[in-house]
């Protein structure tokens, strides 16, 4: 098994290069990049100085060749794509993600300010979802076909069909002090005067800003995890070894929680890889919905504004976390079920 995991770790390297070179090349060839945006701003500025209509004259203004060459040099567009990719990888190996076009700061400095915010929401959502969904899935499997199972299934499938960001929007409209109830704030991580509050008020304020985003985080994963847990346990309850345990006269609680539950957790472990990247990188749309200044919102704005250093930095971090998360899923497989031997 050690050789298997060694191969998996070694496969991270070519997989990482495959992911990053594909996205890097796409970013470099799509229109509307930073150079085009900069040229448009410059043309509009020159047209304004000429005294004509900015929109009508922007297309007629020409930029000096020296200025154009300097802009290409700044964005490294004077080099072939593969050379640019090689420079980016070389800098990445030296833990240099470059400078943000938007913030004019090192990308690491921009990212590290927002990382704790995404980790905060990601970890809370992860712990709550697994703490609730596994017992709920077990209960639904044990009481399959009962009124409790039917009623909870209705709630679960409503959650399954509702995107988290949409649930967040609905909650903001209902409870965010707009047209209906003024119970929770309209987004953001904390109140602007958070540092001026007492310790206890800081805790309350943080919780006040946490409830709605966490509910939005949980909506999708809550439904999926609950259904997977229920179906997996029901499948294992029908296995011969469980029937044998019942035939021996063992109590139902012992059969379920000692014999069947452990094997039923295997499908749950498959989601850990995705959860790891979500915990650390944040959910883009939910952070956008609640205007939470985390990694998700930072990346969303970077994509819109064509801030390639931040976009590629997020890509590198997300790819590494996702690949490591998949290996963690395999390790969890082996820990939960000793029969599994990777070869």
pLDDT at 121 over 80: yes
Can you give the pLDDT at residue 29? 83
The string of DSSP codes covering 264-322 is HTHHHHTTHHHHHHHHHH--HHHHHHTT--SHHHHHHHHHHTT-HHHHHHHHHHHHHHH
pLDDT at 52 over 60: no
pLDDT at 337 over 80: no
Neighbouring C-beta atoms of residue 326, cutoff 10 Å = 19
Can you give the pLDDT at residue 329? 79
pLDDT at 54 over 60: no
Report, as an integer, the average pLDDT of 100-119: 86
Report, as an integer, the average pLDDT of 23-50: 78
Can you give the pLDDT at residue 90? 92
pLDDT in tens, 232-253: 888 888 888 888 888 888 888 8
Neighbouring C-beta atoms of residue 139, cutoff 10 Å = 18
Least confident of 107-121, 268-282, 294-308: 268-282
Tell me the pLDDT band of 203, cut-offs 50, 70 and 90.
Answer: very high
Q: Which of 95, 93, 87, 89 is nearest to 112 (CA)?
A: 95
Q: Six-digit token pair at 12?
A: 């991270």
Can you give the pLDDT at residue 60? 62
Report, as an integer, the average pLDDT of 118-124: 86
DSSP code at position 146 = S
Can you give the pLDDT at residue 308? 87
**Partners of 176 in the beta sheet?**
182
pLDDT at 281 over 70: no
Can you give the pLDDT at residue 343? 59
Report, as an integer, the average pLDDT of 82-98: 89
What's the mean per-residue pLDDT of the chain?
82
Tell me the pLDDT band of 274, cut-offs 50, 70 and 90.
Answer: low
Which range among 39-43, 155-159, 208-212 has the greatest average pLDDT?
Answer: 208-212
Report, as an integer, the average pLDDT of 32-52: 73
pLDDT in tens, 132-173: 888 888 888 888 888 888 888 888 888 888 888 888 888 888
pLDDT in tens, 316-330: 888 888 888 888 877
Can you give the pLDDT at residue 217? 83
Can you give the pLDDT at residue 49? 65
**How far apart are alpha carbons 88 and 2 in whole angstroms?**
33
* Residue 318 CB contacts under 8 Å (≥ 6 apart), including other chains: 277, 281
Going from the C-alpha of 165 to that of each of 162, 171, 197, the distances in angstroms are 8, 10, 30
Residue 310 vs residue 63, higher pLDDT? 310
| Percent share of the chain, pLDDT over 70 | 89
């Amino acid at each position: 098994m050690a050789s298997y995991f060694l191969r998996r770790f070694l496969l991270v390297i070519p997989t990482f290069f495959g992911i990053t070179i594909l996205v890097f090349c796409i970013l470099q060839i799509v229109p509307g990049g930073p150079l085009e945006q900069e040229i448009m701003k410059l043309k509009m500025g020159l047209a304004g100085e000429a005294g004509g209509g900015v929109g009508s004259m922007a297309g007629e203004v020409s930029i000096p060749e020296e200025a154009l060459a300097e802009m290409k040099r700044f964005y490294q567009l004077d080099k072939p794509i593969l050379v640019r990719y090689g420079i980016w990888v070389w800098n990445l190996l030296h833990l240099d993600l470059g400078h943000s076009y938007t913030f004019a700061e090192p990308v690491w400095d921009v990212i590290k300010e927002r990382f704790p915010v995404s980790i905060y929401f990601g970890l809370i959502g992860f712990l709550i979802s697994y703490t609730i969904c596994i017992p709920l899935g077990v209960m639904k499997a044990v009481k399959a076909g009962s009124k409790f199972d039917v009623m909870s299934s209705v709630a679960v499938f409503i959650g399954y069909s509702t995107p988290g960001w949409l649930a967040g929007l609905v909650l903001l409209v209902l409870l965010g002090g707009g047209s209906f109830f003024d119970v929770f704030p309209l987004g953001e991580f904390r109140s602007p005067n958070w540092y001026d509050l007492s310790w206890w008020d800081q805790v309350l304020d943080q919780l006040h800003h946490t409830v709605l985003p966490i509910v939005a985080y949980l909506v999708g994963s809550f439904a999926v995890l609950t259904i997977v847990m229920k179906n997996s346990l029901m499948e294992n309850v029908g296995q011969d070894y469980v029937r044998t345990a019942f035939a021996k006269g063992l109590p139902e609680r012992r059969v379920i929680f000692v014999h069947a539950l452990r094997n039923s957790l295997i499908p749950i472990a498959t989601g850990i890889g995705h959860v790891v990247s979500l915990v650390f990188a944040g959910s883009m749309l939910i952070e956008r919905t609640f205007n939470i200044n985390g990694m998700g919102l930072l990346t969303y704005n970077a994509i819109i504004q064509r801030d390639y250093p931040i976009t590629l930095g997020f890509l590198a971090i997300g790819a590494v976390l996702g690949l490591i998360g998949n290996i963690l899923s395999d390790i969890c497989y082996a820990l939960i079920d000793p029969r599994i031997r990777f070869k």
